[in-house]
Amino acid sequence: MFVKIDLTSDVPIYLQIKNAIIEGIARGELKEGDSLPPIRQLAEDIGVNMHTINKAYNLLKDLGFITINKKYGAVISVEGFNETFMENLKEELRPIIAEAFVKGIDKETFLKLVEGILDEFGGSKNE
Amino acid sequence: MFVKIDLTSDVPIYLQIKNAIIEGIARGELKEGDSLPPIRQLAEDIGVNMHTINKAYNLLKDLGFITINKKYGAVISVEGFNETFMENLKEELRPIIAEAFVKGIDKETFLKLVEGILDEFGGSKNE
DNA sequence: TATTTGTTATATATATTATATAACATATAT
DNA sequence: ATATATGTTATATAATATATATAACAAATA
């Protein structure tokens, strides 16, 4: 499985798992309709507790990236963005951009950085 | 004072204060050499505990946005970015960009959003 | 009927966040 | 000298978040 956990990170484990799955979708390694592993199995695979996986899956459900049911388990099913998402996105980005701006990173450099990350995902769309 | 706290937010108060000050610098409301209010005064102004302000100021110091001494208190003094900062910035941005990408926001729309935020800061550089 | 799934309920432990008081060291002003 | 203002440090307390451990439950499947 693609999820690697850094126990020394200050990012909580359940958020690392959430991020890894979203980035897996972004890179095309997980596609609409794919099932995620059962919570107990993924928990054992990466050496964390079942409830930590459960928390990550429920967050992914609330964020609109998967659906969960007892037939098929956790299945990738992405809801498109809406106005609320765009507003939250802006509020998340603002402090990060402010830090970079104050540190002296110019507009062009910052936009190149963002483009670089976007290309990690969009570059190989069909594989 | 410019710091507004949202007690219902899931962002810790000391981080809201940190962000507000960095955004204050970014908008030109705080300039290199300006003093921030004493921790006890700012604490009373916005209705939080002294130690919460102290925590925010020490974080700002560690991040390279202010210096602190007993003569002048907390003074805006920005260290420029370095390689470590750029790496951390990228790691902070990646999960946010991945979410937006998976939700179907296209490259151009995302870059426009970032530009819009940058223009909140860079637009009125000398005032 | 047994197994697998997510879910729920307790319990425990640790870390983080925030507050409350108090005292301390240093610099400044009177 | 004395008082004041500054950030700092030390305790203590409380609430919340994070993570683990066990156990039981309900629904679907084999």
Q: Please enumerate in sequence order all residues whose Cβ is within 8 A of that of A72, keeping only pairs 6 or more positions apart, or say none.
A: A35
When pLDDT is cut at 50, 70 and 90, the band that residue A121 belongs to is very high
Q: What is the mean pLDDT of residues A47-67?
A: 97
Per the CB < 8 A criterion, the answer to whether B54 and B39 are in contact is: yes
Residue pLDDT, tens place only, B93-116: 999 999 999 999 999 999 999 999
Q: How far apart are CA A93 and CA B18, in angstroms?
A: 15
Find, among A38, A46, A54, the residue nearest to A7 by Cα: A46
Tokens of B77: 């003094």
Alpha-carbon distance B67 to nearest alpha carbon in chain A (angstroms): 15
DSSP A35: B
Nearest CA in chain B to A11: B92
Domain positions in chain A are 13-76, 83-122
Partner-chain contact A102 B22, CB within 8 Å: yes
State the number of CA atoms in the 13 A half-sphere of B38 facing the CB: 6
> Which bases of chain C are under 7 A from a protein CB atom?
4-10, 16-22, 25-28
- Shortest CA to C1' contact from A49: nucleotide: D20
State the number of CA atoms in the 13 A half-sphere of A111 facing the CB: 16
The CATH fold of domain A13-76: Arc Repressor Mutant, subunit A (1.10.10)
Residue pLDDT, tens place only, B40-68: 999 999 999 999 999 999 999 999 999 99
